[in-house]
Chain A
Amino acid sequence: MIEIRIHGRGGQGAVTSAELVAIAAIDDGKYAQAFPSFGPERRGAPVAAFIRVSDKPIRTREKVYGPNVVMVLDPSILKIVNVAAGLKEGGTVIINTSKTPEEMAGLLNVKAKIVTVDATKIAMESMGVPITNTTMLGALLKSTGIVSNDALGKAIDKRFGRIAEKNKTAFNRAMTETIVREA
């Protein structure tokens, strides 16, 4: 079972991106869960969302305490939240940043695969808004291959309707521009 924790701010689409991955994984024939950090939703406040993907039925309702993958939608979160908390050994940290994985590795001080992508820039150029969730899914897919491109594309189409294409442009750009640094 793969467990993913997504950090963002309220309104950046952390919960939506978790949902899209779970829906795609289930469409792929796997088992999955996606859930928010339960509570009142407040735009701008640091939030987390969680994903579990497994080949077998998932029998737990615990929160995710030891993620395999951490994804950070907003670089400013790094200053206020310990995003690497509980990260499993050999885990992956995916960050929206203009910095290189090497620079991030120095800042984060974790033994992990570091993945970076300038998602804010891509989102601004492709969609005109700094909402990075679908862009970051490109980085997630490139670095983990957790769901099929097809299934995720379908999930994005269904969720975003007429603005799905822009989201997919951003997603595809992230697939090519993401930089992966092995642990």
Chain B
Amino acid sequence: MAKIDAIMGWKELDLGCVIRQPGSSRAFKTGDWRSQRPIVDREKCNKCGLCWIYCPDLAMVPAEEGYYKVNLDYCKGCGICAKECPKDAITMVLEED
């Protein structure tokens, strides 16, 4: 199923439109849906992990020394992490800036 971006003909579809490659949704980068991005201020962060728990796209990932960082390939910029952070360590900034 290499033709993610191509328009497939009906004869090229796999049986019952099955996707045989596990985890192929990783190839679908949803990060470009984003109009804002989260910025983590490690000065304020207490490493509680709520941003990691709440992120609906698993785009907040554990990083070095117990901190968390944003995977911008998949972050849609929803702002849930910023809203949930008890230390106000995450701020949303416009993509254009």
Q: Do any beta carbons of A and B sit within 8 angstroms of each other in the complex? A: no
List residues of A whose CB falls within 8 A of some B CB: none
List residues of B whose CB falls within 8 A of some A CB: none
